[in-house]
A = this chain, B = another copy of it.
Amino acid sequence: MTEQKVISFETIRVACKNCTLSTLCLPMGLTTEDVERLDDIVRRSKPLHRGDYLFRSGETFRSLYVVKTGSVKTYAPSEEGGEQVLGFHLPGEIIGLDAIETEVHACSARVLETSAICELPFSRLEQLTATIPSLQHQMYRLLSKEIGHDTEMLLLLGKKNAEERLAAFLISMSRRLHQRGLSPTDFHLSMSRHEIGNYLGLAVETVSRLFTRFHEEGLLKVDRKHVQLLDPAGIEAILGQSLADDHRARSS
């Protein structure tokens, strides 16, 4: 409170040696001291590999997780091995927010490819946010953002047809990868067709057929898990058909 030495965006990037913390502290005025305190509670583990769990359904909630590199899927397992994929999480995105309330993980999280993950013990994070108002604000924003994202998915599953769903999925991946400095038109899907279908509420076969159709229509090139968007505008146009433009969540 005494020396409110606000540091710049670039300083933060440097202070947060990896991209982990940028999720939390990007748009704020944090003192260097604050950033250090935040950095202190972050646990960095060695890289995880495909199939490794961050946590499983039923386990006690202790930490939030931030994807540094790689990708993670969260899913709600049901008896008999059936499951509902809830989300795919890319670098910079945070996992576990839904378990704060009950203090028990309702879903499981496993990495889709070799990934670096940071762990944020929640109780310590909570202590920290109580003493750093701008960090508290950022936590509220993160939680709120998750709600906004879920809302979009509700709209997608409730109102859109198969074609629109896959288009939305591709555009979402494109934007999120672009945000992290990766190519928005040329990327690798770390999840299987099966998982995509499960996520979008579609059968595997439908997903496959749609990829083929998009390919035939010249919207994209697809080879196994490698995707190139040839006509991003055309894909976005598919979204606009049912619901015209949505001028929403536009966070740096």
Q: What class of interface size applies to chain A in its complex with B? A: 35 or more
Known: A157-B201, A158-B84. A248 touches B102 (CB 8 A): yes
Would you call A24 an interface residue if the criterion is a C-beta within 8 Å of the partner chain's C-beta atoms?
A: no
Contact with B along A124-142 (1 / 0, CB 8 A): 0010011001001101111
Would you call A97 an interface residue if the criterion is a C-beta within 8 Å of the partner chain's C-beta atoms?
A: yes
| Cα–Cα distance between A136 and B129 once the two chains are bound (Å) | 9
Please pick, from B139, B155, B245, the residue contacting A140 in the complex, using a CB distance under 8 A. Answer: B139
List A residues 78-107 near B (Cβ within 8 Å). Answer: 78-86, 97-102, 106-107
Smallest CB separation, A86 vs chain B (Å): 6
Smallest CB separation, A128 vs chain B (Å): 11
Contact with B along A223-238 (1 / 0, CB 8 A): 0000000000000000
Find the B residue at minimum CB distance from A141: B101
List A residues 139-155 near B (Cβ within 8 Å). Answer: 139-148, 150-151, 153-155
Smallest CB separation, A199 vs chain B (Å): 8
Q: Would A243 and B82 count as touching, CB distance under 8 A?
A: yes
Report copies per complex: 2
Q: Would B148 and A146 count as touching, CB distance under 8 A?
A: no
List the B side residues contacting A244 at CB < 8 Å.
78-80
Please pick, from B86, B148, B243, the residue contacting A102 in the complex, using a CB distance under 8 A. Answer: B148
Q: Would B143 and A150 count as touching, CB distance under 8 A?
A: no
Known: A84-B158, A136-B136, A154-B154. A248 touches B143 (CB 8 A): no
| Cα–Cα distance between A106 and B158 once the two chains are bound (Å) | 17
List the B side residues contacting A15 at CB < 8 Å.
none
Which of the segments A5-13, A38-46, A190-198 contacts the partner chain?
A190-198
A interface residues (Cβ-Cβ under 8 A, vs B): 75-76, 78-86, 97-102, 106-107, 126, 129-130, 133, 136-137, 139-148, 150-151, 153-155, 157-159, 192, 194-195, 197-201, 203-204, 243-246, 248-252
